Structure 1
Amino acid sequence: MFEVWRIVSRMGHLQRLAPLWLIGMAVLVTRFQPVLLVALAYGVALQFLVEYAMHRFLYHRRPPQMQGPFNQLYRDHIGHHEFPTDPDLLTGGNRWFAAVFALVSAGLHTLALALFMGIGAAAGFSVVALWVGSVSAYVFYEYCHTLAHVNLPKGRFGRHVTRSHLAHHYQDHHATFHVSAGMGWIDRLFGTGHDPQAARARYDRDTMMSLGMDPDDLRLVLARKAWGLPGWPGRRHG
């Protein structure tokens, strides 16, 4: 959908990744060899696993007690759950993180692979894998995530993505950590697939949107104020 791509194209962290993607594409085209197709597949698969791991273990970790770290986690993810239709909260607050992660990952991969294939070949494999494969998969993730949250007419694909992701938001925030379409196998592999019976047993209408926290918890109140968000009117369903 054009509107979804318009939103995605304006995301600062993706704009910062664009030069790396172009460099990776230049390497892929000018130095093409079959092993780079393996690099592409590896980079895509790695990003989908990183997507799951970061969502589950970083963004849904136990909320910090100290207000400063809590404010950052709130901006990165908790706020998105409390205000899921706010376009400013679709992505986290650290817009340089993705570019730094891509650079560091490529460097580490190059050092590790250089032991087996030489520094030049290792660098080429790494930038194609991480700056083309992984970045492309990351853009697809942002597309799916945005598509799930925008209020627009949606076709079959859009309805599927929306149903899957909003089950995480509105039914069970302990499950369905994948967002990219077709990646439900990762949740099933790690035992976090959506289970309607488990979702009903865990569901608490008062704390669902605040990831199990009391909506009036002082940390949440202060975090909303710190990021200039509207005050929380007590219990969402009260």
Structure 2
Amino acid sequence: MIFLIANDPFFCSMTFRASYVSPCIPVVLSISEGIVLWTLIEYSLHRWVFHMEPSGKSKLMIYFHFAIHGLHHKVPFDSRRLVFPPFPAAIITFTIYKLTSLFFCDSTHLLVIAGGLLGYVVYDMIHFYLHHGAPDENSYFYHLKRYHNQHHFAHHNSGFGISSVFWDKIFGTALHLRKLAKSIKW
């Protein structure tokens, strides 16, 4: 929605000081777009980059795959393997910065990036909590922890969402967790 508004010449020439436009609405919408964009990036990276099938002939690709995600699956409870490394994160952030600057006028893309970075930080905290936390059985995080554990230990080719299962449902990779007779105590 902001994409359409932000590329409108009238909108780009408006200032937030105009009495009929609240500065909060475009800011909140742009940051929200960044958060939603991050969830799509999270899902896409996890599904198509982290779970790619490296060619058996390329030792470099096998090493790359193992370094970026294979090791995390090998030792999922190693707290040093949960946060995305800073250098690749910087490359992704720079790429997103360049892409958003093509589609958004003025500094709107900075707000989208801020939302994306906020989404990334929340994702990292959720991912750490899913591996090391003990959520209450009636919480959203209890469901996410069961979901993520199924991805790690039973269904490596589905259940790619970490902070949300939304994109798994959209792309048909959602896991269906069976109802347990007794809840798991983490």
TM-score range (shorter-chain normalised) is: 0.7 to 0.9
Alignment pair present for 1:109 and 2:100: yes
Q: Any stretches of 5+ residues in structure 2 without a counterpart?
A: 1-22, 179-186
How many pairs are equivalent?
153
The letter of the residue matching 1:45 is V
User: Is 1:75–1:89's contact at 8 Å kept on the other side of the alignment?
Assistant: no
Which residue does 2:161 correspond to in 1? 178
Which residue does 1:7 correspond to in 2? none
What is the CA-CA distance between 1:71 and the residue it aligns to? 1.1
Which residue does 1:35 correspond to in 2? 26
Considering fraction of residues, name the structure with more helix: 1
Q: 1:88 aligns with which of 77, 80, 101?
A: 80
Distance in structure 1 (CA, Å) of the matches to 2:143 and 2:130: 9
Distance in structure 2 (CA, Å) of the matches to 1:103 and 1:178: 23
What is the CA-CA distance between 1:196 and the residue it aligns to? 5.7
* 1:1-238 alignment runs, 5 A limit: 32=23, 34-65=25-56, 66-92=58-84, 94-113=85-104, 122-130=105-113, 132-150=114-132, 152-155=133-136, 156-180=139-163, 183-195=164-176
Distance in structure 2 (CA, Å) of the matches to 1:158 and 1:112: 35
What is the CA-CA distance between 1:145 and the residue it aligns to? 0.8
CA-to-aligned-CA distance 1:162-209 (integer Å, 9 cap, x gap): 1121110112111110000xx212111111011369xxxxxxxxxxxx
Distance in structure 1 (CA, Å) of the matches to 2:111 and 2:127: 24
Distance in structure 2 (CA, Å) of the matches to 1:154 and 1:35: 35
Distance in structure 2 (CA, Å) of the matches to 1:153 and 1:195: 21
Distance in structure 1 (CA, Å) of the matches to 2:177 and 2:144: 17
Q: What SS is found at the alignment partner of 1:80? A: helix
TM-score of the superposed pair, with normalisation by structure 2: 0.74
User: Is 1:144–1:161's contact at 8 Å kept on the other side of the alignment?
Assistant: no
Which residue does 2:184 correspond to in 1? none
CA-to-aligned-CA distance 1:47-98 (integer Å, 9 cap, x gap): 1011111100111111232112211210110111111111222235x42121
Q: What SS is found at the alignment partner of 1:34? A: helix
User: Is 1:52–1:178's contact at 8 Å kept on the other side of the alignment?
Assistant: yes
What is the CA-CA distance between 1:157 and the residue it aligns to? 4.2
The letter of the residue matching 1:67 is K
Identity rate of aligned residues, in percent? 24
Distance in structure 1 (CA, Å) of the matches to 2:156 and 2:110: 34
The letter of the residue matching 1:162 is K
Q: What SS is found at the alignment partner of 2:160? A: coil
Distance in structure 1 (CA, Å) of the matches to 2:121 and 2:159: 19
Q: Any stretches of 5+ residues in structure 1 without a counterpart?
A: 1-31, 114-121, 198-238
Aligned CA distance change for structure 1 residues 60 and 153 (closer, same or farther; 3 Å): closer
